[in-house]
């Protein structure tokens, strides 16, 4: 298993996993900006019409929950790609078979 071509191929698989996890982490970063925008618009709406506080607050929390699930999914995918990358296991099985 010390064949340089196999090791280079394994390194490429791991690099792709690292890049994909960095992209997945970006969902958490962009989620933060989206949530701050939702909250600021909700505060602005409540400031303009204080009597609509209940419906605006309810809609805000629903929007925040939906944004947060996207960020959580991104973080879960990033953690899986970093620590339990299924592509590495699949690559190792292919190398054992000789494909």
pLDDT at 97: 67
pLDDT at 61: 94
What's phi and psi for 80, nearest 5 deg? -65, -45
Cα–Cα dist 4/16, whole Å: 18
Residue located via tokens 């805000």: 60
Stretch 58-64: mean pLDDT = 93
* Residue 98 pLDDT class (50, 70, 90 cuts): low
- The residues, any chain, with a CB within 8 Å of residue 63's CB and separated by 6 or more, are 38
pLDDT at 2: 63
* Higher pLDDT pick, 87 / 80: 80
pLDDT at 7: 77
Q: Is the pLDDT of residue 94 over 60?
A: yes
Q: Is the pLDDT of residue 30 over 70?
A: yes
HSE (CB half, 13 Å, CA atoms) of 69? 5
CA 62 to chain centre: 20
Stretch 44-54: mean pLDDT = 94
Cα–Cα dist 35/41, whole Å: 10
pTM of the predicted structure, to 2 decimals: 0.72
């Amino acid at each position: 298993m010390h064949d340089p071509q196999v090791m280079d191929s394994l390194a490429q698989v791991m690099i792709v996993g690292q890049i994909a996890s960095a992209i997945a982490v970006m969902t958490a970063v962009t989620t933060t900006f989206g949530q701050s925008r939702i909250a600021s618009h909700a505060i602005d709406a409540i400031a303009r019409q204080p009597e609509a506080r209940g419906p605006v607050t309810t809609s805000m929390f629903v929007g925040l929950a939906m944004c947060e699930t996207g960020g959580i999914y991104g973080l879960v995918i990033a953690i899986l790609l970093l620590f339990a990358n299924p592509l590495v296991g699949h690559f190792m099985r292919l190398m054992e078979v000789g494909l």
